[in-house]
C-alpha cells in the first residue's frame, strides 16, 4: 500500500469495517494506522498549521505573492514617508542578519534584533513574512491599532493578526492575553505573536484558551533568515 494513503480493509466482520494507511515511523520504518471510514480528524493545532503554510509558501507561487504584497503596500504607503523609511530600514536589517555565518549565528541574530528600534522591528517581521511568500497588509499607523501590528494572509485560514515584541527576558503574559482578546474582537482566524524573548510558563495557559501562535527562538530565526528549522544552530 502507498504510504500516507487510506485504504479500505475489513476484519472479516461486515459490521466492522476500517480504513488503514502506512505511515513513516521515527526510526525510518513503517507502521499501519486504522480508523473508521468517515471519522472526523482532530484539527491540527495552530502552530502546526502555521509551519505547514510557511513551508508551502516558498517557491514560484511564493515569489509572485511576495511581489504582489510589496507592490500593494508600496501603493498604500506612498504618502507615508515615515513608514516607507522604516520599511527600508527593515530590509537593511534583514540583509544584515542574513550575512551572519559561523557558530552561534542564530543567537547573534536574536541579539541583533533585540537592539532594533521597536517600530522598525515590527516592519522587520512583516518584511520577513513577505519574503516567506505570504501576503502582508501593513498598518498605515503605528498607534491605535488595538495591539495589532499588521495582518498576514495564510492560505486556507484567512487573515491572521500579527504582533511583534522585543524582549530581553521572559514574555509579558499580559501582552499575550491582550493580543488574544484583540484577535477575538476583530474576528481573525488566528494571531502570530512573534518575540525575541523566552516563553515562560505563565504564557501557556493563554495559548490554550485563544488562537495565539507563539513564534520565537528557532522559529523566529527560521523566518527571519529564511532557512529551514534543521539549519538553525544554537550555542
With bands split at pLDDT 50, 70 and 90, how would you rate the model's confidence at 98? very high
Left, alpha or beta for 160 (phi > 0: left; psi -120 to 50: alpha)? beta
Give the pLDDT mean for 197-205.
89
pLDDT surpasses 80 at 6: no
Q: What is the pLDDT of residues 33-43, one digit of tens each?
A: 545 455 545 45
Listed range (48-52, 152-156, 199-203) with the worst mean pLDDT: 48-52
DSSP, res 148: -
CA-to-CA dists, residue 213 to 18, 20, 172, angstroms: 35, 32, 15
**Cell numbers of 73, please?**
503596500
Span of 88-97, 103-112, 205-214 with lowest mean pLDDT: 205-214
Give the residue with greater pLDDT, 18 vs 151.
151
Of the ranges 18-22, 91-95, 99-103, 215-219, the best mean pLDDT one: 91-95
pLDDT, mean of residues 141-161: 83
- Within 10 A of 224 (CB to CB), how many other CB atoms are there? 26
Asked if residue 4 has pLDDT above 50, the reply is: no
16-34 pLDDT, tens digit per residue, is 444 444 444 545 555 555 4
CB neighbours of 72 closer than 8 A, spacing ≥ 6? 135, 137
The pLDDT value given to residue 20: 46
pLDDT of residue 11: 45
Position with higher pLDDT, 45 vs 7: 45
DSSP single-letter state for residue 142: S
Mean per-residue pLDDT, 91-106? 93
The per-residue pLDDT for 162 is 96
pTM of the model: 0.76
Contact assessment for residue 94 and residue 131, using Cβ atoms and an 8 Å cutoff: yes
Say what the pLDDT of residue 157 is: 75
Mean pLDDT, all residues of the chain:
80
Domain ranges of the chain: 1-41, 46-231
Output 208 or 97, whichever has higher pLDDT: 97
Each residue of 157-196: pLDDT tens digit? 789 999 999 999 999 999 999 999 999 999 998 999 999 9
C-alpha span between 139 and 116 (Å, rounded): 19
Cross-sheet strand order for the sheet of 7-10: 7-10, 17-24, 30-35
Among the listed residues 145, 138, 162, the one whose alpha carbon sits nearest the alpha carbon of residue 76:
138
Q: Which CATH class is domain 46-231?
A: alpha beta
Amino acid at each position: 500500500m502507498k504510504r500516507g494513503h487510506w485504504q479500505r480493509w475489513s476484519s472479516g466482520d461486515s459490521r466492522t469495517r476500517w480504513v488503514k494507511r502506512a505511515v513513516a515511523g521515527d526510526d525510518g520504518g513503517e507502521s499501519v494506522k486504522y480508523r473508521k471510514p468517515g471519522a472526523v480528524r482532530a484539527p491540527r493545532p495552530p502552530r502546526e498549521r502555521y509551519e505547514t503554510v510557511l513551508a508551502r509558501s516558498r517557491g514560484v507561487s511564493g515569489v509572485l505573492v511576495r511581489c504582489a504584497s510589496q507592490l500593494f503596500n508600496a501603493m498604500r504607503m506612498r504618502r507615508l514617508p515615515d513608514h516607507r523609511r522604516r520599511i527600508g530600514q527593515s530590509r537593511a536589517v534583514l540583509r544584515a542578519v542574513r550575512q551572519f555565518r559561523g557558530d552561534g549565528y542564530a543567537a547573534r541574530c536574536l541579539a541583533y534584533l533585540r537592539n532594533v528600534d521597536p517600530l522598525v522591528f515590527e516592519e522587520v517581521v512583516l518584511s520577513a513574512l513577505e519574503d516567506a511568500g505570504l501576503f502582508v497588509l501593513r498598518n498605515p499607523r503605528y498607534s491605535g491599532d488595538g495591539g495589532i501590528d499588521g495582518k498576514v494572509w495564510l492560505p486556507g485560514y484567512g487573515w491572521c493578526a500579527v504582533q511583534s515584541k522585543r524582549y530581553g527576558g521572559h514574555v509579558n503574559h499580559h501582552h499575550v492575553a491582550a493580543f488574544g482578546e484583540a484577535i477575538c474582537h476583530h474576528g481573525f482566524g488566528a494571531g502570530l505573536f512573534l518575540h525575541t524573548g523566552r516563553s515562560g510558563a505563565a504564557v501557556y495557559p493563554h495559548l490554550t484558551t485563544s488562537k495565539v501562535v507563539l513564534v520565537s527562538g528557532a522559529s523566529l530565526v527560521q523566518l527571519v533568515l529564511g532557512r529551514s528549522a534543521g539549519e538553525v544552530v544554537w550555542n
